[in-house]
Structure 1
Amino acid sequence: MRVILGPMEGVLDHLMREMLTEINDYDLCVTEFVRVIDQLLPDRVFHRLCPELKQGGQTASGTPVRVQLLGQDPHWMAENARRVVELGSPGVDINFGCPAKSVNKSRGGAVLLQDPALMYQIVKSVREAVDPRLPVTAKVRLGWDCPSHCFEIADAVAQAKADELTVHARTKADGYKAEAIKWDYIRLLKAKSPLPIVANGEVWNYQNGQDCMATTQADALMVCRGALNLPNLGNVVKHDAPHMRWDEVLALLLRYSEYEIKGDKGLYYPNRVKQWFAYLRHEYPEAKALFADIRRHNKAAPIVDILLAAQRQLAA
């Protein structure tokens, strides 16, 4: 099974990709989106979001990293797509799925699901701008508020000559409600679309992955939030590996702390690690207990001290 580590704005950054691809057999990563408006962005914007461009478009462990673009102007999307592959991205992904209000207000992300004709123009322009040997892919939801719109959406992407389509099996209106997942629509889409389909949504463990693939008949699977709940989810889904032990997760958290404090996001470390704990606590009761202590601190040092103390306690 091909398993992709998907994008999560402000969460799955290059440091997280570095660690998660080292401990998982992912086939591909997709970056957080680069917002394109009305200009060709400077190289530093792409390098900041995807430093892997400077190492052949892959993580240190060799997993390819594809840059994702988000925007509504076909010309500037094409110009930035051309530039990002010149910088080393192994293809381009286009975001038509982000449900954030701030993004949708400025005509980006999921709001474009209401305009398949414009989606077609964007994908077509990007496909024509990018080396034909490199993939142009798109990530969508089933629709804005009606899942049956997925057929028109997928047709627009296919007609524009995209190479693959990732489908998050909810509408924008559904948000991330677990009960709103509609894997069966991906199966219906798969039967009609000529494109390879990647299924996304509500995969938290091996059985979810098996059920999703059986229901959707998709060609591949993308995991996002689940990869933060369970750091070795890629291997769990792909190889039925045992769930990572809590002591291993603690070691990973301390390594992440080292990266973050030394790196360019040191000031944001407390918020980032709290954000990760908010996911981990769904899988690990120990994380839930530690989160109560960690959330009180806004500086890195006391948070790291709490993690080290927890590690010593486990070793005792």
Structure 2
Amino acid sequence: MTAPDLQSSARLILAPMEGVVDHLMRDMLTRIGGFDLCVTEFVRIVDQLLPAKVYHRMCPELHQGGLTPAGTPVRVQLLGQDPDWLAENARQAVELGSHGVDLNFGCPAKTVNKSKGGAVLLKETDSLYRIVSAVRAAVPAQQPVTAKMRLGFEDKSLAIANAQALEAAGASQIAIHARTKVEGYNPPAYWDWIARIRGVVQIPLVANGEIWSLADAQRCRLESRCQDLMLGRGALALPNLARVIKQQAEPMSWEQVRALLSRYSGYEIYGDKGKYYPNRVKQWLGYLKRQYPQAIELFARIHTLQRAEDILVQLAA
């Protein structure tokens, strides 16, 4: 079997990485290009309809028709356990300009799972059905209701049943992180399990997990039998990964990445580098170290620095 051509047919989605892929990172990565859709960090829903300002804070793109400055659509993601309140908030998110709504059944964080949100719901197939049913009924038919799930919580025994429940409840698409909550982010990703699920559901699936390169994307697509891919950590480690996959572009050089690190200070995108930049640039270097050995040396030089100006001096060195 030959590797599929990803240049024109694959739809690439930027993953909703909590605490990492905020509006600034979405802006920068979609400016580089290759993404067809972004999903926001989750908005936590408990027992109320959140005010519009919460959505605008999490997704400033709503002020621009739900698009990044580069024109890429953004979809708000919700996390919670109460079907009715999730439905009310989903309706509001769409009314504010979100391009559909996504539901989080994949977050592995202990604090989230303890409050019965994210991946822990994969232990309750009926709860998945009730949540998606309520949200689907609340959101206009032309707006997609999508879900992100893992293969399970402790094991994969409910993977197929959970996907079938999401489909039966009216989900438009499911993004599947090809590991359980317990497996976390440890390789490998079990892409073949996505193919098993694809054999029993009719709605589109999106494969996610351990896609770091064009070769990984090709193998993932073969093993998962999915056309569409979701990129998370791989896009942080190689900022033009989406273009590498779609257009077979050359991976960015370290010089190009270093220039991005300087622009990430906010001069072009955010407008306020003061408190934000030092911690986030260090966090980003943690991902870049996978692809660029130079990032290790740079991190060693800046990890104790607290002022953006001092970090920018090191970037220019």
Bin for the TM-score computed over the shorter chain: over 0.9
Deviations 1:64-105 (A, max 9, x none): 000000000001000000000000001000000000001001
Which residue of 238, 245, 250 corresponds with 1:237? 245
Alignment map for 1:1-316 (pairs within 5 Å): 1-179=10-188, 181-259=189-267, 263=271, 266-309=274-317
Q: Distance in 2 between matches of 1:307 and 1:187?
A: 44
1:271 alignment partner AA: N
Deviation at 1:259, TM superposition (A): 4.7
Contact kept in structure 2, 1:261 and 1:300, CA below 8 Å? no
1:304 alignment partner AA: L
Of 108-117 and 266-275, more deviation after overlay is shown by: 266-275
Structure 2 CA distance for partners of 1:4 and 1:261, relative to 1, 3 Å: closer
Give 3-state SS (helix, strand or coil) of 1:199's partner: strand
Number of equivalent positions: 308
Give unpaired runs (5+ residues) of structure 1.
310-316
Give unpaired runs (5+ residues) of structure 2.
1-9
Q: Distance in 2 between matches of 1:290 and 1:193?
A: 47
The structure in which a higher percent of residues are helix is: 1
Q: Distance in 1 between matches of 2:18 and 2:272?
A: 17
Contact kept in structure 2, 1:260 and 1:266, CA below 8 Å? no
Q: Distance in 1 between matches of 2:170 and 2:267?
A: 40
Q: Distance in 2 between matches of 1:264 and 1:56?
A: 23
TM-score, length of structure 1 as denominator length: 0.95
Give 3-state SS (helix, strand or coil) of 2:229's partner: strand
2:175 alignment partner AA: T
Contact kept in structure 1, 2:27 and 2:269, CA below 8 Å? no
Calculate percent identity across the aligned residue pairs.
57
TM-score, length of structure 2 as denominator length: 0.95
Deviation at 1:265, TM superposition (A): 6.8
Deviation at 1:237, TM superposition (A): 1.5
Q: Distance in 1 between matches of 2:14 and 2:245?
A: 12
Q: Distance in 2 between matches of 1:106 and 1:148?
A: 23
Moved over 6 A (4+): none
Q: Distance in 1 between matches of 2:311 and 2:272?
A: 18
